[in-house]
Each structure stands twice: as structure tokens, then as C-alpha cells.
């Protein structure tokens, strides 16, 4: 079972940690895809970025359980 994170008496959901890691990975991936020009072939970049974030976050949760 996933425990809450105690931060000076404030209990935070572990999903916040997963989200921060997923955001960092997604940001790095966005940078790489932007540098190689892959966004020219993507129809809706914002929707693509959101989808990648959800996929990465789901993979992180699945791998840690």
C-alpha cells in the first residue's frame, strides 16, 4: 500500500511525487522532440504532451507498485 508523504505535519499524496517526476521526464522529452523537429508531424501538440504525461505517470505508478 502506498503511504502518504509527511512534510512537517502536512500529509501529501504520493501521486504528487509521481506527477513531479512525470513532469520532469515529459519536459525533457518535449525538449528533445522540439530539437529534432518532431512537432511538425504532430497534429495537436498540447494534446500530445498531455497524453505523454499521462502515459509516463501511469508507467511510473505501475512500475513502483
Q: How far is CA 51 from the centre of its chain?
A: 10
Q: What is the pLDDT of residues 11-27, one digit of tens each?
A: 888 898 899 999 999 99
With beta carbons less than 8 A apart as the criterion, state whether 22 and 11 touch. no
Helices (H), the chain: 14-36, 45-64
Q: What is the pLDDT of residue 65?
A: 81
What does the pLDDT profile of the chain (65 residues) look like in tens digits? 567 888 888 888 889 889 999 999 999 999 999 999 999 999 999 999 999 999 999 999 999 88
Nine cell digits for residue 37: 523537429
CA dist 39 and 7 (Å) reads 39
Q: What is the pLDDT of residue 39?
A: 93
Amino acid at each position: 500500500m502506498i503511504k502518504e508523504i509527511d512534510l512537517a505535519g502536512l500529509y501529501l499524496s504520493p501521486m504528487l511525487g509521481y506527477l513531479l517526476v512525470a513532469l520532469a521526464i515529459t519536459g525533457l522529452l518535449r525538449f528533445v522532440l522540439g530539437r529534432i523537429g518532431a512537432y511538425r508531424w504532430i497534429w495537436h501538440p498540447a494534446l500530445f504532451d498531455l497524453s505523454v504525461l499521462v502515459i509516463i505517470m501511469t508507467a511510473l505508478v505501475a512500475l513502483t507498485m
